[in-house]
A and B are shown apart, each in its own frame.
Chain A
Protein backbone atom coordinates (compact mmCIF):
# COMPACT_ATOMS: atom_id res chain seq x y z
CA UNK A 1 0.00 0.00 0.00
CA UNK A 2 1.29 3.43 -0.83
CA UNK A 3 0.41 7.07 -1.34
CA UNK A 4 0.24 7.32 -5.10
CA UNK A 5 -1.34 10.50 -6.56
CA UNK A 6 -3.14 10.12 -9.90
CA UNK A 7 -2.14 12.27 -12.86
CA UNK A 8 -3.93 10.82 -15.87
CA UNK A 9 -6.61 13.54 -15.94
CA UNK A 10 -9.20 11.23 -17.50
CA UNK A 11 -12.89 11.66 -16.78
CA UNK A 12 -15.19 8.64 -16.88
CA UNK A 13 -17.50 8.17 -19.85
CA UNK A 14 -20.67 8.83 -17.84
CA UNK A 15 -19.37 12.26 -16.86
CA UNK A 16 -18.46 13.18 -20.43
CA UNK A 17 -21.83 11.92 -21.61
CA UNK A 18 -23.76 14.00 -19.10
CA UNK A 19 -21.83 17.14 -19.99
CA UNK A 20 -22.69 16.48 -23.63
CA UNK A 21 -26.34 16.06 -22.71
CA UNK A 22 -26.36 19.35 -20.88
CA UNK A 23 -24.74 21.03 -23.85
CA UNK A 24 -27.38 19.54 -26.13
CA UNK A 25 -30.07 21.03 -23.95
CA UNK A 26 -28.52 24.47 -24.21
CA UNK A 27 -27.95 24.23 -27.95
CA UNK A 28 -31.50 22.99 -28.55
CA UNK A 29 -33.07 25.49 -26.20
CA UNK A 30 -31.66 28.76 -27.46
CA UNK A 31 -30.67 27.84 -30.98
CA UNK A 32 -27.23 27.97 -32.48
CA UNK A 33 -26.29 31.62 -32.29
CA UNK A 34 -23.10 33.52 -31.90
CA UNK A 35 -23.65 33.85 -28.21
CA UNK A 36 -20.78 31.66 -27.22
CA UNK A 37 -20.08 33.15 -23.84
CA UNK A 38 -23.69 32.83 -22.89
CA UNK A 39 -23.75 29.23 -24.05
CA UNK A 40 -20.62 28.45 -22.08
CA UNK A 41 -22.10 30.02 -18.99
CA UNK A 42 -25.30 28.09 -19.33
CA UNK A 43 -23.50 24.84 -20.01
CA UNK A 44 -21.59 25.29 -16.80
CA UNK A 45 -24.76 25.90 -14.86
CA UNK A 46 -26.90 23.31 -16.56
CA UNK A 47 -24.41 20.49 -16.52
CA UNK A 48 -24.74 20.45 -12.78
CA UNK A 49 -28.26 21.58 -12.06
CA UNK A 50 -30.60 20.61 -14.85
CA UNK A 51 -29.22 17.47 -16.44
CA UNK A 52 -32.13 15.70 -14.78
CA UNK A 53 -34.70 17.34 -17.02
CA UNK A 54 -32.93 16.50 -20.25
CA UNK A 55 -35.07 14.30 -22.42
CA UNK A 56 -32.63 11.44 -22.50
CA UNK A 57 -30.79 10.81 -25.70
CA UNK A 58 -28.01 8.30 -25.92
CA UNK A 59 -24.72 9.95 -25.11
CA UNK A 60 -23.30 9.53 -28.57
CA UNK A 61 -26.18 11.41 -30.16
CA UNK A 62 -25.94 14.14 -27.58
CA UNK A 63 -22.25 14.48 -28.31
CA UNK A 64 -23.20 15.59 -31.84
CA UNK A 65 -25.00 18.55 -30.37
CA UNK A 66 -21.90 19.32 -28.36
CA UNK A 67 -19.96 19.38 -31.60
CA UNK A 68 -22.51 21.84 -32.98
CA UNK A 69 -21.75 24.16 -30.10
CA UNK A 70 -18.05 23.85 -30.77
CA UNK A 71 -18.61 24.52 -34.49
CA UNK A 72 -20.53 27.65 -33.64
CA UNK A 73 -17.64 28.76 -31.49
CA UNK A 74 -15.19 28.19 -34.33
CA UNK A 75 -17.39 30.13 -36.77
CA UNK A 76 -17.64 32.98 -34.33
Chain B
Protein backbone atom coordinates (compact mmCIF):
# COMPACT_ATOMS: atom_id res chain seq x y z
CA UNK B 1 0.00 0.00 0.00
CA UNK B 2 1.00 3.64 -0.31
CA UNK B 3 1.84 5.83 2.65
CA UNK B 4 2.69 9.50 2.87
CA UNK B 5 5.15 10.02 5.72
CA UNK B 6 4.89 13.37 7.44
CA UNK B 7 8.53 13.28 8.60
CA UNK B 8 8.47 16.63 10.34
CA UNK B 9 6.15 19.52 11.05
CA UNK B 10 9.11 21.86 10.78
CA UNK B 11 9.97 23.87 7.68
CA UNK B 12 12.73 26.28 6.71
CA UNK B 13 10.38 28.38 4.56
CA UNK B 14 7.36 30.51 5.40
CA UNK B 15 5.28 30.49 2.23
CA UNK B 16 2.59 33.13 2.21
CA UNK B 17 -0.22 30.74 1.26
CA UNK B 18 0.86 27.75 3.37
CA UNK B 19 -1.79 26.55 5.81
CA UNK B 20 0.41 24.10 7.71
CA UNK B 21 1.28 24.88 11.29
CA UNK B 22 5.01 24.63 12.03
CA UNK B 23 6.10 22.71 15.12
CA UNK B 24 9.30 21.01 16.19
CA UNK B 25 7.71 17.57 15.89
CA UNK B 26 9.74 14.97 14.03
CA UNK B 27 8.96 11.35 13.23
CA UNK B 28 11.01 8.82 15.25
CA UNK B 29 13.03 5.99 13.69
CA UNK B 30 10.66 3.51 15.35
CA UNK B 31 7.66 5.12 13.66
CA UNK B 32 9.49 4.96 10.32
CA UNK B 33 10.13 1.24 10.87
CA UNK B 34 6.46 0.59 11.67
CA UNK B 35 5.35 2.66 8.68
CA UNK B 36 7.61 0.77 6.25
CA UNK B 37 6.30 -2.53 7.64
CA UNK B 38 2.73 -1.33 7.11
CA UNK B 39 3.48 -0.27 3.52
CA UNK B 40 4.59 -3.83 2.73
CA UNK B 41 1.86 -5.54 4.75
CA UNK B 42 -0.88 -5.41 2.10
CA UNK B 43 -1.30 -4.97 -1.61
CA UNK B 44 0.93 -5.90 -4.53
CA UNK B 45 3.01 -2.72 -4.39
CA UNK B 46 4.55 -0.61 -1.67
CA UNK B 47 5.00 3.12 -1.99
CA UNK B 48 6.24 5.84 0.31
CA UNK B 49 6.00 9.56 -0.26
CA UNK B 50 8.20 11.71 1.99
CA UNK B 51 6.34 14.81 3.03
CA UNK B 52 6.23 17.54 5.66
CA UNK B 53 6.94 20.33 6.70
CA UNK B 54 10.15 20.10 4.75
CA UNK B 55 11.13 16.41 4.57
CA UNK B 56 14.75 17.17 3.63
CA UNK B 57 15.23 18.53 7.16
CA UNK B 58 15.17 14.83 8.05
CA UNK B 59 17.49 13.36 5.42
CA UNK B 60 18.63 10.73 7.92
CA UNK B 61 15.07 9.38 8.16
CA UNK B 62 14.72 9.30 4.38
CA UNK B 63 17.92 7.30 4.04
CA UNK B 64 16.76 4.97 6.82
CA UNK B 65 13.31 4.43 5.29
CA UNK B 66 14.83 3.69 1.87
CA UNK B 67 17.24 1.15 3.38
CA UNK B 68 14.40 -0.62 5.21
CA UNK B 69 12.11 -0.55 2.19
CA UNK B 70 14.77 -1.93 -0.13
CA UNK B 71 15.45 -4.77 2.29
CA UNK B 72 11.73 -5.54 2.54
CA UNK B 73 11.35 -5.38 -1.21
CA UNK B 74 14.17 -7.92 -1.68
CA UNK B 75 12.73 -10.22 1.00
CA UNK B 76 9.12 -10.12 -0.23
CA UNK B 77 9.49 -9.47 -3.96
CA UNK B 78 7.01 -6.61 -3.61
CA UNK B 79 8.01 -3.70 -5.85
CA UNK B 80 8.72 -0.44 -4.03
CA UNK B 81 8.45 3.14 -5.28
CA UNK B 82 9.31 6.36 -3.48
CA UNK B 83 8.37 9.98 -3.96
CA UNK B 84 9.14 13.22 -2.19
CA UNK B 85 7.47 16.60 -2.10
CA UNK B 86 10.10 19.17 -1.20
CA UNK B 87 10.63 22.91 -1.27
CA UNK B 88 13.96 22.05 -2.87
CA UNK B 89 16.16 24.45 -0.92
CA UNK B 90 18.05 21.65 0.88
CA UNK B 91 18.74 19.47 -2.14
CA UNK B 92 22.43 18.67 -2.50
CA UNK B 93 24.66 16.39 -4.55
CA UNK B 94 24.24 13.52 -2.10
CA UNK B 95 20.44 13.67 -2.12
CA UNK B 96 20.31 14.00 -5.91
CA UNK B 97 22.44 10.83 -6.19
CA UNK B 98 20.26 8.95 -3.68
CA UNK B 99 17.10 10.03 -5.48
CA UNK B 100 18.49 9.00 -8.84
CA UNK B 101 19.58 5.58 -7.54
CA UNK B 102 16.22 5.00 -5.85
CA UNK B 103 14.34 6.17 -8.95
CA UNK B 104 12.56 8.53 -6.60
CA UNK B 105 9.99 10.86 -8.11
CA UNK B 106 10.67 14.40 -6.91
CA UNK B 107 7.89 16.94 -6.57
CA UNK B 108 9.93 20.16 -6.64
CA UNK B 109 7.83 23.00 -5.23
CA UNK B 110 8.93 25.97 -7.28
CA UNK B 111 6.86 29.00 -8.19
CA UNK B 112 9.16 30.24 -10.95
CA UNK B 113 9.41 34.01 -11.10
CA UNK B 114 6.70 34.20 -8.42
CA UNK B 115 9.05 32.44 -5.97
CA UNK B 116 10.22 35.51 -4.04
CA UNK B 117 6.69 36.90 -3.84
CA UNK B 118 5.47 33.89 -1.92
CA UNK B 119 8.20 31.46 -0.90
CA UNK B 120 10.69 33.05 1.45
CA UNK B 121 12.80 31.67 4.28
CA UNK B 122 11.55 31.99 7.83
CA UNK B 123 13.94 34.93 8.18
CA UNK B 124 12.32 36.54 5.13
CA UNK B 125 15.15 35.81 2.71
CA UNK B 126 14.71 35.34 -1.04
CA UNK B 127 14.97 31.83 -2.48
CA UNK B 128 14.64 32.27 -6.25
CA UNK B 129 18.35 32.15 -7.15
CA UNK B 130 18.90 29.17 -4.86
CA UNK B 131 16.00 27.29 -6.45
CA UNK B 132 17.30 27.86 -9.96
CA UNK B 133 20.62 26.40 -8.82
CA UNK B 134 18.87 23.37 -7.26
CA UNK B 135 16.73 22.85 -10.36
CA UNK B 136 19.87 22.72 -12.50
CA UNK B 137 21.43 20.22 -10.10
CA UNK B 138 18.44 17.88 -10.42
CA UNK B 139 18.41 18.19 -14.19
CA UNK B 140 22.15 17.41 -14.34
CA UNK B 141 21.58 14.24 -12.33
CA UNK B 142 18.67 13.23 -14.54
CA UNK B 143 16.32 12.91 -11.57
CA UNK B 144 12.66 12.16 -12.24
CA UNK B 145 11.39 15.61 -11.30
CA UNK B 146 8.17 17.51 -11.74
CA UNK B 147 7.97 21.23 -10.94
CA UNK B 148 5.00 22.03 -8.73
CA UNK B 149 3.88 25.62 -8.93
CA UNK B 150 1.27 27.41 -6.85
CA UNK B 151 -0.45 30.41 -8.37
CA UNK B 152 -1.56 32.86 -5.70
CA UNK B 153 -3.85 35.84 -6.26
CA UNK B 154 -1.09 38.36 -5.51
CA UNK B 155 1.52 36.92 -7.87
CA UNK B 156 -0.42 35.06 -10.58
CA UNK B 157 0.28 37.83 -13.10
CA UNK B 158 3.71 36.19 -13.45
CA UNK B 159 2.39 32.67 -14.03
CA UNK B 160 3.03 32.60 -17.78
CA UNK B 161 6.64 33.71 -17.47
CA UNK B 162 7.06 31.15 -14.69
CA UNK B 163 5.88 28.37 -17.00
CA UNK B 164 8.40 29.48 -19.61
CA UNK B 165 11.18 29.55 -17.02
CA UNK B 166 10.36 26.03 -15.82
CA UNK B 167 10.44 24.80 -19.41
CA UNK B 168 13.73 26.56 -20.11
CA UNK B 169 15.30 24.99 -17.01
CA UNK B 170 14.68 21.60 -18.60
CA UNK B 171 11.77 20.21 -16.59
CA UNK B 172 9.73 17.76 -18.69
CA UNK B 173 6.52 18.68 -16.92
CA UNK B 174 4.99 20.97 -14.36
CA UNK B 175 1.86 21.05 -12.28
CA UNK B 176 0.05 24.29 -11.57
CA UNK B 177 -2.30 24.54 -8.63
CA UNK B 178 -4.14 27.65 -7.53
CA UNK B 179 -3.49 28.66 -3.92
CA UNK B 180 -6.44 27.64 -1.80
CA UNK B 181 -7.20 27.98 1.89
CA UNK B 182 -7.73 30.72 4.42
CA UNK B 183 -4.42 32.48 3.72
CA UNK B 184 -5.53 33.66 0.27
CA UNK B 185 -8.50 35.53 -1.14
CA UNK B 186 -9.44 35.25 -4.78
CA UNK B 187 -11.52 38.09 -6.17
CA UNK B 188 -13.15 38.41 -9.59
CA UNK B 189 -10.30 40.76 -10.57
CA UNK B 190 -7.45 38.47 -9.53
CA UNK B 191 -9.20 35.49 -11.10
CA UNK B 192 -9.40 37.37 -14.40
CA UNK B 193 -5.63 37.92 -14.19
CA UNK B 194 -5.22 34.16 -13.74
CA UNK B 195 -7.51 33.50 -16.70
CA UNK B 196 -5.44 35.85 -18.87
CA UNK B 197 -2.26 34.05 -17.87
CA UNK B 198 -3.78 30.67 -18.73
CA UNK B 199 -4.70 31.97 -22.18
CA UNK B 200 -1.05 32.86 -22.71
CA UNK B 201 0.06 29.46 -21.42
CA UNK B 202 -2.33 27.72 -23.83
CA UNK B 203 -0.84 29.67 -26.72
CA UNK B 204 2.63 28.71 -25.55
CA UNK B 205 1.62 25.04 -25.33
CA UNK B 206 0.51 25.15 -28.96
CA UNK B 207 3.74 26.84 -29.96
CA UNK B 208 5.76 24.07 -28.28
CA UNK B 209 3.52 21.36 -29.74
CA UNK B 210 4.10 22.69 -33.24
CA UNK B 211 7.85 22.46 -32.61
CA UNK B 212 7.56 18.86 -31.38
CA UNK B 213 8.43 19.80 -27.79
CA UNK B 214 6.97 17.28 -25.30
CA UNK B 215 6.78 19.65 -22.30
CA UNK B 216 3.52 19.11 -20.45
CA UNK B 217 1.60 21.36 -18.11
CA UNK B 218 -0.98 19.99 -15.73
CA UNK B 219 -3.86 20.55 -15.49
CA UNK B 220 -4.17 21.33 -19.22
CA UNK B 221 -2.65 18.11 -20.56
CA UNK B 222 -4.23 15.98 -17.86
CA UNK B 223 -7.71 17.21 -18.63
CA UNK B 224 -7.28 16.05 -22.22
CA UNK B 225 -5.63 12.70 -21.52
CA UNK B 226 -8.03 11.84 -18.72
CA UNK B 227 -11.04 12.42 -20.95
CA UNK B 228 -9.59 9.99 -23.50
CA UNK B 229 -8.15 7.35 -21.21
CA UNK B 230 -10.30 7.80 -18.17
CA UNK B 231 -9.01 9.04 -14.86
CA UNK B 232 -6.18 6.88 -13.63
CA UNK B 233 -7.27 5.88 -10.12
CA UNK B 234 -3.66 5.51 -9.04
CA UNK B 235 -3.22 9.27 -9.35
CA UNK B 236 -5.74 10.06 -6.68
CA UNK B 237 -5.66 9.12 -3.05
CA UNK B 238 -9.40 8.47 -2.72
CA UNK B 239 -9.27 9.57 0.89
CA UNK B 240 -7.89 6.66 2.78
CA UNK B 241 -8.77 3.99 0.25
CA UNK B 242 -5.62 3.81 -1.84
CA UNK B 243 -3.20 5.55 0.44
CA UNK B 244 -2.89 6.87 3.96
CA UNK B 245 -0.96 9.69 5.56
CA UNK B 246 1.23 8.91 8.56
CA UNK B 247 1.59 11.79 11.03
CA UNK B 248 4.88 12.38 12.86
CA UNK B 249 3.50 10.45 15.85
CA UNK B 250 2.43 7.45 13.77
CA UNK B 251 -1.29 8.19 13.61
CA UNK B 252 -2.97 7.45 10.29
CA UNK B 253 -5.19 9.87 8.35
CA UNK B 254 -6.87 9.80 4.94
CA UNK B 255 -4.64 12.61 3.66
CA UNK B 256 -2.04 15.09 4.90
CA UNK B 257 -4.70 17.80 4.84
CA UNK B 258 -6.42 16.05 7.76
CA UNK B 259 -3.46 15.71 10.12
CA UNK B 260 -4.69 18.33 12.57
CA UNK B 261 -8.18 16.82 12.66
CA UNK B 262 -8.34 13.97 15.20
CA UNK B 263 -11.91 13.13 14.17
CA UNK B 264 -10.46 11.82 10.87
CA UNK B 265 -7.85 9.54 12.51
CA UNK B 266 -7.89 6.02 11.01
CA UNK B 267 -5.64 4.25 13.51
CA UNK B 268 -1.88 4.24 13.87
CA UNK B 269 1.17 2.40 12.58
CA UNK B 270 1.48 0.89 16.09
CA UNK B 271 -2.08 -0.37 16.52
CA UNK B 272 -2.98 -0.88 12.87
CA UNK B 273 -5.63 0.56 10.60
CA UNK B 274 -9.08 1.15 12.04
CA UNK B 275 -10.79 -0.86 9.31
CA UNK B 276 -14.31 -0.04 10.46
CA UNK B 277 -13.67 3.69 10.08
CA UNK B 278 -11.87 3.16 6.80
CA UNK B 279 -14.79 1.12 5.47
CA UNK B 280 -17.15 3.87 6.55
CA UNK B 281 -15.05 6.30 4.53
CA UNK B 282 -15.05 4.16 1.40
CA UNK B 283 -18.83 4.22 1.43
CA UNK B 284 -19.03 7.95 1.74
CA UNK B 285 -19.54 9.96 -1.43
CA UNK B 286 -17.40 13.07 -1.51
CA UNK B 287 -18.91 14.55 -4.67
CA UNK B 288 -20.47 17.87 -3.66
CA UNK B 289 -24.24 17.95 -4.21
CA UNK B 290 -24.15 20.86 -6.74
CA UNK B 291 -21.74 18.79 -8.88
CA UNK B 292 -23.71 15.58 -9.10
CA UNK B 293 -25.51 16.44 -12.35
CA UNK B 294 -22.72 18.55 -13.86
CA UNK B 295 -21.44 17.28 -17.23
CA UNK B 296 -17.88 18.06 -16.14
CA UNK B 297 -18.13 16.29 -12.81
CA UNK B 298 -15.97 13.33 -13.87
CA UNK B 299 -13.25 15.63 -15.17
CA UNK B 300 -13.14 17.93 -12.20
CA UNK B 301 -11.39 17.86 -8.83
CA UNK B 302 -14.70 18.45 -7.05
CA UNK B 303 -14.41 15.22 -5.08
CA UNK B 304 -10.90 16.01 -3.81
CA UNK B 305 -11.60 16.13 -0.11
CA UNK B 306 -8.29 17.90 0.55
CA UNK B 307 -9.07 20.86 -1.68
CA UNK B 308 -12.64 21.03 -0.44
CA UNK B 309 -11.67 21.01 3.20
CA UNK B 310 -9.12 23.76 2.57
CA UNK B 311 -11.66 25.91 0.78
CA UNK B 312 -14.90 25.27 2.59
CA UNK B 313 -14.03 23.36 5.77
CA UNK B 314 -16.04 20.40 4.48
CA UNK B 315 -14.65 17.52 2.36
CA UNK B 316 -17.79 17.30 0.27
CA UNK B 317 -18.48 20.95 -0.51
CA UNK B 318 -16.81 22.79 -3.37
CA UNK B 319 -15.92 26.50 -3.33
CA UNK B 320 -16.98 28.87 -6.13
CA UNK B 321 -13.32 29.63 -6.96
CA UNK B 322 -12.58 25.93 -7.49
CA UNK B 323 -15.63 25.47 -9.72
CA UNK B 324 -14.67 28.55 -11.74
CA UNK B 325 -11.08 27.33 -12.03
CA UNK B 326 -12.02 23.81 -13.11
CA UNK B 327 -14.45 25.07 -15.76
CA UNK B 328 -11.79 27.44 -17.06
CA UNK B 329 -9.02 24.84 -17.39
CA UNK B 330 -11.30 22.15 -18.88
CA UNK B 331 -12.57 24.59 -21.51
CA UNK B 332 -9.05 25.72 -22.33
CA UNK B 333 -7.71 22.15 -22.39
CA UNK B 334 -10.41 21.11 -24.86
CA UNK B 335 -9.63 24.11 -27.04
CA UNK B 336 -5.96 23.23 -27.35
CA UNK B 337 -6.84 19.52 -27.58
CA UNK B 338 -8.97 20.24 -30.65
CA UNK B 339 -6.21 22.37 -32.17
CA UNK B 340 -3.62 19.64 -31.58
CA UNK B 341 -5.88 16.94 -32.98
CA UNK B 342 -6.54 19.00 -36.08
CA UNK B 343 -2.80 18.89 -36.77
CA UNK B 344 -2.87 15.11 -37.10
CA UNK B 345 -4.37 12.23 -35.16
CA UNK B 346 -1.27 10.08 -34.84
CA UNK B 347 0.84 12.96 -33.60
CA UNK B 348 -1.82 13.78 -31.05
CA UNK B 349 -2.04 10.14 -29.93
CA UNK B 350 1.74 9.93 -29.53
CA UNK B 351 1.93 13.19 -27.62
CA UNK B 352 -0.83 12.26 -25.21
CA UNK B 353 0.65 8.80 -24.65
CA UNK B 354 -2.63 7.08 -25.45
Contact = CB atoms under 8 A, between A and B. Distances in A.
A23 interface: no
Given A1-B320, A2-B324, A48-B230, A7 B341 contact: no
A24 B170 CA distance: 39
A1 B324 contact: yes
B327 A6 contact: yes
Interface residues of A, number: 27
16 contacts: A1-B188, A3-B318, A4-B324, A5-B294, A7-B294, A11-B227, A12-B334, A15-B228, A17-B341, A18-B354, A51-B228, A52-B350, A54-B345, A55-B346, A56-B344, A62-B345
B348 interface: yes
Interface in B232-283: none
Interface string B293-321: 11111000000000000000000001011
Contact of B295 (A9, A48, A52, A55): A9
A26 to B, nearest CB: 16
The main secondary structure of chain A at its interface with chain B is loop
Contacts of B291: 5
Chain B contact surface mostly: helix
Interface in A31-76: 48, 51-52, 54-59, 62
Interface string B205-225: 000000000000000000010
Contact of A2 (B293, B323, B338): B323
A28 to B, nearest CB: 15
B293 A4 contact: no
Interface of A: 1-9, 11-15, 17-18, 21, 48, 51-52, 54-59, 62
Contacts of B344: 56, 58
A37 B321 CA distance: 44
A14 B224 contact: yes
A24 to B, nearest CB: 10
A53 to B, nearest CB: 9
Contact of A48 (B229, B321, B334): B229
A4 to B, nearest CB: 6
